[in-house]
Structure formats: C-alpha cells, structure tokens
Amino acid sequence: MKNIVILISGRGSNFEAILRASREQRWEQNPGARIAAVISNRPGARGLETARREGIPAVAVDHKLYPTREAFEERLAQEVDRFEPDLIVLAGFMRILTERFVAPREGKILNIHPALLPLFKGLDTHQRAIDAGVRVHGSTVHFVSAALDGGAIIGQAVVPVLPSDTAETLAARGLELEHVLYPRVCRAVLEGRVRLEDGRAVMDDDTARELAIFA
Ligand code: GAR
C-alpha cells in the first residue's frame, strides 16, 4: 500500500477533494494507495478537523513553536517520515520548504499553485492576474523543487478572467477546477504515469490531455 501524506495550512478543500476521489475510485484497491496522514503547520486548520472526523491521523507541527525555519522543517520531516510516504501532497500548505527537506524527497512532493505557472509565482495571484489584464488564469500542479513555485509542471486547469471578477470570484472559479485537477494528478503519479526526469515531468500524450483542464 502506498502512503500519501498531505500537508495543509488551512481550509483543506483540496485534501477533501483527494479524499473523496480516493474513496469513490477505491484507490486502496487500485493503484493501492491511501491517505496515511494530514499534517498542518497551523494547529487550528479546518482540514485537521476534517481528517480527524474521517479517521485519518491528523498532526499539527506549529511553525511558531520553532526558533528557525530549519528547526521547524526538521520536526516536520520527522512527522512526515513517520508515515513512510510514497507521495507528499502540499494542498494549501503556506510555508516555504528548503533544499534540506526537498532534495531527499525530490520527485515525491507535489504542490498546487493558484496561477498558470510560470506566471504569478508567490502570493496574491488572483489580484495580480486581474491587475495584469490576462484573459485566462488557473492553477498548476507541479513537482516541488527548492525554487519557490519553480518545479516541473505536471498539470494545469484554465479558467476565464471576467471583467466583473474580483480576486474572490476568480479564486472560487479556479478552486472548483483544482478539485478536479489535483486528484487526477495524484492518481497519475501514483500509477507511475508521471515521473520526474532531468527536471521535467514525463508522461504520455493521453495523460497530458487528462491533466490539462479547461473550464
Ligand atoms: C488553493 O487554492 C491552493 O491553490 C492555494 O491555497 C488554496 C488552498 O485551499 N495554494 C497556495 O496559495 C500555495 N502557495 P484549500 O486549503 O481549501 O485546499
């Protein structure tokens, strides 16, 4: 059985979408995977409550209790490794992970970023997209590398930007598709249909089509 460890910082709606897909599609049977734990750097994260309610181990590693990023990360790594993860899924996890965490786990960590990378790395992506006047926006799932929002792109979901949009309405439109995209990417990686090779996400044409989603 492959273990998925999900890292969150808040609401956890992407975690819920992955959980729902894993149950509806019986991932325990095929590809043989389960969500082994949900870990949050914020003890009050709503997603931790969801995990507990669903019988999934829920762990808080409060970054505020550690004097340095390195100390926090070391503790986080211990907690993550306890669940022997085959896949580490960052789902609204709002702490930067350094080389020390990422390098030994390269190719096993995914992140979802609310923009069409390589555009709009970092924070406040929806307002920045509106301000830039782009007509499409969306979300990207990528392998995590030590460069912030810079790892190999696996899949993207594209939504229109409407003249009436606020950052909130645009975020909501994007989030709906994130809930379709992220479970698909997780499954494809777990099935070995997507791999990290020489800094690129390698997959066949059918998988690439499945992981390009348009509103
Ligand atoms: C998602 O929209 C995700 O793309 C974004 O946070 C939201 C988390 O929602 N991630 C980032 O901004 C990462 N820098 P959720 O907690 O409901 O899944």
pLDDT recorded at residue 3:
98
What pLDDT, on a 0 to 100 scale, did the predictor assign at position 148? 93
Residue 80's nearest CA partner among 36, 17, 26, 125 is: 36
pLDDT of the residue at 51: 98
So which residues are the catalytic ones?
113
- The pLDDT assigned to 56 comes to 98
**10 touches ligand 1 (CB under 6 Å):** yes
Residues with Cβ within 8 Å of 93's Cβ and at least 6 positions away in sequence, in order, are 7, 8, 9, 41, 111
pLDDT tens for the chain, 215 residues long, are 999 999 999 999 999 999 999 999 999 999 999 999 999 999 999 999 999 999 999 999 999 999 999 999 999 999 999 999 999 999 999 999 999 999 999 999 999 999 999 999 999 999 999 999 999 999 999 999 999 999 999 999 999 999 999 999 999 999 999 999 999 999 999 999 999 999 999 999 999 999 999 99
CA 107 to CA 169: how far, in whole Å? 33
Q: Give the Å distance between the CA of 197 and the centre of ligand 1.
A: 26
Nearest CA to ligand 1 atom 1: 92
Q: How many CB atoms lie within 10 A of CB 136?
A: 13
Q: Can you list the domains of the chain with their CATH numbers?
A: 1-105 (3.40.50.170), 112-215 (3.40.50.170)
Looking at residue 162, what is its pLDDT? Answer: 98
> Ligand 1 pocket: which of 18, 178, 180 to mutate (most atoms <8 Å of CB)?
178
Which of 7, 13, 125 maximizes ligand 1 atoms within 8 Å of its Cβ, making it the mutation to test the pocket?
13
138 lines ligand 1 (CB under 6 A): no
Q: Tell which atom from ligand 1 comes closest to the C-alpha of 171.
A: 2
- The answer, yes or no, to whether any atom of ligand 1 lies below 6 A from the CB of 107, is no
Residue tagged 């789902």 (tokens): 91
What is the per-residue burial (b if ≥16 Cβ within 10 Å, else e) of 16-29? bbbbebbeeeebee
Is 33 near ligand 1, meaning CB less than 6 Å away? no
**Residues in CB range of 206: below 8 A, 6 or more apart:** none
pLDDT at 106: 96
Q: Judge if the beta carbon of residue 114 lies within 6 A of ligand 1.
A: yes
Ligand 1 centre and the CA of 8: distance in Å?
8
CA distances from 128 to 97, 105, 178 (A): 23, 31, 19
Among protein residues, the one whose CA lies closest to atom 16 of ligand 1? 12
For the question of whether the overall pTM of this predicted structure is more than 0.95, the answer is yes
Structure-token pair, residue 8: 């969150």
Q: 79 CA to middle of ligand 1, Å?
A: 22
